[in-house]
Amino acid sequence: MPLRTLQLLLLSAWLTTTPGQAARDKPQQVQDLHYGEVLFHFYQEDYFTAISHLMVAQHQDVLQHHRDESELLLGGLQLSYGMLDQAEQQFGALLNTETKTDAELHDRVWYYLTKINYQRGKYEKAHKTLVEINDPGDKRIRAELAVLDANINMALGNNEAAAEALKEARAPEGWEEYLLINRGIAELRAGNIEQGRKTLDKLGKDRAANEELRALRDRANLGLGYELLRAGDAEQARKYLNRVRLQGPFMQSALLGAGWSDVERGDYQQALTPWLHLLKTSSHQPATHEARLAVPYAFGQLGDQARSVYYYEQAIDYFEKEQQLLESAIQTTENGTMLSLLSQAETGTSGGWLQQNPTLKGVPSGHYLVDVLSGHNFQESLKDYRDLGYLTELLNDWLDNIDIYYDMVDTRRQAYEVRAPAVRKRLENQEAIALQERWQYYRDLVTTERSEGNPLNLATGKEKQQWKTLKAAGEKLAALPDEPRYRLMKAKAQWLQGVLYWQIQADYKSRLWEIEKQLAELQTPVEESVRMHQQVETALGSIQDGFTGYDERIEALRSRILGLLPAIDAARGNASGHLQQLALDELEVRKQRLISYRNQARYALARSYDQLATGGDDQP
């Protein structure tokens, strides 16, 4: 797995745990919307958008609840892009901050500082920063730290300490095989051959559930076999080399080692079996090249000089053809064809162009280029090259679309000129102020009514009409002669008027309370309308000022983009040169190795011819 992918996976796993909850692996609660948006892009593996939005959110100071987490995420993203200086400064600032960071964040910062120092080859400093990390609760993180600790110690030559660190580490599910192989390698390097053999032997015999673990098992068997071969135990070496699958990625090295283990035991006939099988493969790996020399050597040791001469001649022809192919590969690299193919493949998926065109059809000796380009160092440099290409493409898109901002400003300006007169006319009518005055008028009436308490003021329209009718009837009856008949009518009219008044008075308090309630409910929207009136009035007066300055800002952005493009192009040119040099260096190493093999074959062939001519017993 590429280094950056490991960093980002660990970053995501560690960022999704809250302080003190790593062992339970519970996701943290996102309290700031902008931080949630950043995490969304991050988990979608859209890292450029994530880092851009994160920096904008930090500039706008909208990450109130996630300040430290956002700083840590920014440093992790910078680390994943290979920006080691910026990442180190970012993490160092977190440790030097005046506010006390929690223990979980403290450990994460020290982890990344350790990772940076390890990548830079500053192993002593990496060891010092590693000891600052407290023992985490999460088993996976403990396993990752144990492997990192072992790698640092092995780089410092402290192989025994590396083996001890891995021995004490408890392997969570899915990590046992990785801990075992690293532990076995550390034990072998420490000179503890027997213990390293036991450790790798356990891994080499375990059943593997997937292709990755099967390849890991093959690697353990291969490493143990070669270590035993160097130690002089050819019998046991053959045993472990036989365990390597013939369909796996380590088949060529295993077949070569198996043959040499037979040679160490003096069984040259048996050695020919794996070596001749290796010659039948179409591989261009160094193991196959070496087998071209080993086969005639074995025939020579068996006394079959004729076959020895035949295979030496074949080897010389093969090495010369391979050298021509390598020369073609070097020329292809020097004339820029390789980088041209890389540029054409940049529009592909994030998986890389090697997955799209693994054989490089049409390119001379493309198989050599595939071997070189699939190397870790080249792939890391290739990522930088592609990142710079993506930035160039992005800036060019922004440059092409920058006129849209002018259109946006013009559209807003035109909309203002069209709508402003109508809005201004409505404002001049003072509708909100009139509404507030009307509300206040009714509020004053209710206040007066509360103090005076006249029930008739709150009578309904029907009640008021009835009261007016009864009052008029009473006045007419009062003008009539004082006779029993009229007195009876007057008394009845007064009784009806009293009943009506009693009914109005009985509902007075509830009516007064209902009116006050409605006025209170209207107070907020009335005040809101006045506030909005004032806001619109203020905005209308200042909106024209909002149009000023945009042209200058847009032009400043254009100038900034135009200034960045040459710098990125220069950096990409340096990156392409670095890629080209990496490929040329590796191809040159392969070329010199082939020349050496060819010279050895010619010398051995000459000796074989000499012996055939003289009939001597000396072997080549």
Inform me whether the pLDDT recorded for 9 exceeds 70: no
Is there a single domain that holds both residue 414 and residue 454? yes
User: What are the tokens at 557?
Assistant: 């952005």
Who contacts 4 (Cβ-Cβ below 8 Å, separation ≥6)? 80, 81, 82, 380, 383
Q: How many CA atoms lie within 13 A of 478 on its CB side?
A: 7
> How many structural domains comprise the chain?
3
Residues 532 and 410 grouped into a single domain? yes
**Residue indicated by tokens 């997937």:** 210
d(CA 500, CA 577): 105
Residue 197 pLDDT: 77
172 and 56 assigned to the same domain: no
Which helix or strand (DSSP H or E) is residue 600 part of? helix 550-614
* Highest-scoring range by mean pLDDT, 105-119, 214-228, 445-459, 587-601: 587-601
User: Which of 206, 235, 258 is the last residue before a domain boundary?
Assistant: 206
Question: Count of CB atoms within 10 A of residue 364's CB?
Answer: 17
Does residue 436 share a domain with residue 550? yes
pLDDT for the residue 366: 67
- Is 285 part of any domain? no
Identify the band that residue 563 occupies on the pLDDT scale cut at 50, 70 and 90: very high
Which helix (H) or strand (E) element contains residue 324? helix 305-334
- Structure token digits, residue 407: 């259109």
- Return contacts of 278-285, CB within 8 angstroms, 24+ apart: 278/252, 281/251, 281/252, 283/252, 284/322, 284/367, 284/368, 284/371, 285/252, 285/253, 285/371
* 490-522 residue pLDDT tens: 888 888 888 888 888 888 888 888 888 888 888
Q: For residue 347, what pLDDT is reported?
A: 44
Residue 507 in any domain: the answer is yes
- Nearest one of 85, 121, 87, 91 to 106, comparing CA atoms: 91
With respect to residue 45, please indicate whether it lies within any of the assigned structural domains.
yes
pLDDT-derived band at 217, boundaries 50, 70, 90: confident
Do 162 and 149 contact (CB within 8 A), yes or no? Answer: yes
Same domain? For 409 and 549 the reply is yes
Residue 554, pLDDT > 70, answer yes
- Is 166 found in the same domain as 96? no
Q: Are residues 17 and 38 in the same domain?
A: yes
Model pTM score? 0.63
Mean pLDDT of 141-167: 81
pLDDT recorded at residue 23 = 30
In a domain, 577, yes or no: no
What type of residue is 135? D
125 and 163 fall within a common domain: no
Asked whether residue 498 falls in the same domain as residue 423, the answer is: yes
Q: Which of 44-53, 250-259, 311-320 has the lowest mean pLDDT?
A: 44-53
Per DSSP, 281 falls in state S
pLDDT digits (tens, 9 = 90+) for 333-362: 888 777 776 655 544 433 333 334 444 565
Query: Which pLDDT does position 204 carry in this prediction?
Result: 62
Number of helices and strands (H, E) in the chain?
Answer: 27, 0
Distances (CA, A) of 85 to 88, 113, 117: 5, 11, 10
Of the three residues 186, 206, 226, the one that is the final residue of a domain is 206
What pLDDT does 468 receive? 86
Torsion angle, alpha carbons of 437, 442, 443, 444, to 10:
90
Domain assignment present for 567: no
What does the CA dihedral 358, 360, 365, 370 come to, rounded to 10 degrees?
A: -30
485 and 527 inside one domain: yes
- Asked whether residue 283 is assigned to any structural domain, the reply reads no
Contact 237, 230 (CB under 8 A): no
SS3 (DSSP) at 436? helix
The stretch 299-305 carries a mean pLDDT of 90
Is the domain of 8 the same as that of 127?
A: yes
- Alpha helix ranges (H) inside 242-304: 251-264, 268-279, 286-301
Q: Does residue 523 have a pLDDT over 50? A: yes
Contact partners, residue 527, CB within 8 Å, separation at least 6: 436
Is the pLDDT score of 257 beyond 90? Answer: yes
**In the chain, % of residues over pLDDT 70:** 86
Choosing from 525, 554, 583, the residue where a domain stops is 554
Phi-psi category of residue 352: left, alpha or beta, with phi > 0 → left and psi -120 to 50 → alpha: left
Short-list 5, 218, 20, 205, CA closest to 107: 20
CATH of residue 29's domain is 1.25.40.10
Domain assignment present for 468: yes
Give domain status of residue 70, yes or no.
Answer: yes
Quick one: what percent of the chain has pLDDT higher than 90? 13
Q: What pLDDT, in 10s, does the model give residues 372-398?
A: 777 767 777 777 888 888 888 889 998
Q: For position 270, what pLDDT does the model report?
A: 94
Q: Which domain holds residue 152?
A: 138-206
pLDDT band at 174 (very low <50, low <70, confident <90, very high): low
Cα–Cα distances in Å, from 214 out to 98, 237, 243, 285, 549? 50, 19, 11, 21, 64
Summary mean pLDDT of the chain: 79
125 and 24 belong to one structural domain: yes
Output the pLDDT for position 4. Answer: 41
Alpha carbon distance 275, 268 (integer Å): 10
- The residue ranking higher by pLDDT, 238 or 105, is 238
